[in-house]
Amino acid sequence: MKTTIELPDALAAEAKALAAATGTTLRDLVVSGLRHEVATRRQGHRVDFDFPTVGGSGIVVDLAPGEVIARSYELG
């Protein structure tokens, strides 16, 4: 299907440069990005973060922000 869309000039220029640098076409870049966005929005709002708890009984207190992030992603 052919369609016309308006893009901000800076975004269009950046997309064209990226397409050229990666050996693809602007069309393929737009299709890929649109597919990704449609799939993401279909899934709804997804939170990729779990607060650490003590036995599932609430948030662990006295943690620095970095510790919270590390524990939620099982980094430490």
The values of phi and psi at residue 59, to 5°, are: -75, 140
Report helix, strand or coil for 59: strand
User: Binning pLDDT at 50, 70 and 90, where does residue 67 land?
Assistant: confident
DSSP secondary-structure letter at 48?
-
Measured between alpha carbons, how far is 49 from 42 in angstroms, rounded to an integer?
19
- Which pLDDT does position 46 carry in this prediction? 65
- Which pLDDT does position 60 carry in this prediction? 59
- Which pLDDT does position 62 carry in this prediction? 73
Determine which helix (DSSP H) or strand (DSSP E) holds 9, and give its type and residue range.
Answer: helix 9-21
Residue corresponding to tokens 């510790």: 67
Per-residue pLDDT of 2-52, as tens digits, reads 999 999 999 999 999 999 999 999 999 999 999 999 998 888 766 666 666
User: Binning pLDDT at 50, 70 and 90, where does residue 63 land?
Assistant: confident
